[in-house]
Amino acid sequence: MIELHNVTKYFRTTLGKKYILKDSTFSIPSDVNVGILGKNGAGKSTLMRMLGKIEFPNEGKIISDKSFSWVMGVGGGFQNNMTGRANVKFVCRIYGKSKKEIDKSIDFVKEFSELDDYFEMPIKTYSSGMKSRLTFGLSLAFDFDYLLIDETLSVGDARFRKKSKEALMKKIESCNVLLVSHDMGTLRDICDVGIVSHEAKLHYFDNINDAIKMYNTINK
């Protein structure tokens, strides 16, 4: 289970506090896939980063005994001066993988990401889409209770998007996913429940279709 207790997140600006989330409280039951919807700038990615413990609430707390992946999205979290291979190896070492496991992970990520020669080049030479493919492949190589995905499935051509979605569906047979997306079809295919971020509030729905209805209403 994931519990949010009076979670507030804001950023200080020259005009004062800019609230992204204000006093949000609800629980997400275990063993469900969660879709996160909202307009651009509504706080979806901020929520994901807080769940992944990249950022933290200004007030309140998030409680869970589950493990969360890093956020899989166009930003990535790599060392830009290191190669794709070196970044994968570095992450594997952080997670205490053996040499055999590291070699296996490197081979998997290289093949899945389809980066070819770029896999041996510094991350700073990558496009945002290439970083996303590396992030996606690396996340699939690890086991988490929840995968955090921020629009990654929209990266690449139609063939790679199909491949990524099929790989994700296979992966979530053994874990769950929190997915930020503007693709309603993908949300319906993958997610059970939904959260709509709107006007600094999070609205939780036990059915993803009800979340999509609210999202469509606020976008009319």
pTM for this one? 0.81
Alpha-carbon dihedral 129, 121, 117, 169, rounded to 10 degrees = -40
- Digits of tens for pLDDT over the chain (220 positions)? 899 999 999 999 999 999 999 999 989 988 899 999 999 888 888 888 898 888 899 999 999 999 888 777 645 567 889 999 999 999 899 888 999 999 999 999 999 999 999 999 999 999 888 888 898 888 888 888 998 888 766 666 788 888 888 888 898 889 999 999 888 998 999 999 999 999 999 999 999 999 999 999 998 8
- The answer to whether 193 touches 208, Cβ cutoff 8 Å, is yes
